[in-house]
Amino acid sequence: MLDGLLNESGIDVLERTIQFAGQRHRIIVNNIANLSTPNYRPTDVDAAEFRQSLAKALKKRHATHPGLRSSAPIRPKDTADITFTDHDMELKPRPKGEGILFHDRNDRDLEGLMGELTENTLTHRTATELLRARFATLQMSIRERV
């Protein structure tokens, strides 16, 4: 019953998004720390693939559990970089190889990294704010008072 209540308003989707943003942040921060390390190649996971996998899983749940009573927890399919488990995920970052290779054999892209950092932080912030709002609604219904 609690599962149904919690999954109904997309809390599990937000949970997955926060998990992903949190783990990806570690990768981006590590890339920034190694900006001038010789032979280091910045790594990343494909965020677009994560979003697609999550959207597909959400669509599937709507199809199998129509209406609001969608109590089945969401379970996105694994992508090339991400392995999903029941309540967690594992990211396997790979070298991107997109930037210009410098003389120290590091293909850093500072602007790209900072862009990703900002985007990822905003994704995390949006998801946490939405989750907060969901919890506030739940709390309100528990208290039965506005």
Contact residues for other proteins, defined by CB under 8 A: 18, 21-22, 25-26, 28-30, 32-38, 40, 110, 113-114, 117-118, 120-121, 124-125, 128-129, 131-132, 135
CA distance 32 to 15: 26
- Residue 43 backbone phi and psi in degrees, to 5: -115, 165
**5, 24, 42, 122 from 65: Cα distances, Å:** 14, 31, 41, 31
| 13 vs 21, beta carbon nearer other proteins | 21
| 69 vs 125, beta carbon nearer other proteins | 125
Least distance CB 29 / other proteins (angstroms): 5
Least distance CB 22 / other proteins (angstroms): 5
CA distance 4 to 123: 25
Least distance CB 65 / other proteins (angstroms): 26
Beta-sheet strands, E only, within the chain: 43-44, 82-84, 89-91, 94-95
Least distance CB 49 / other proteins (angstroms): 22
| 40 vs 61, beta carbon nearer other proteins | 40
| 13 vs 28, beta carbon nearer other proteins | 28
The CB density around residue 78, as the number of other CB atoms within 10 Å, is 13
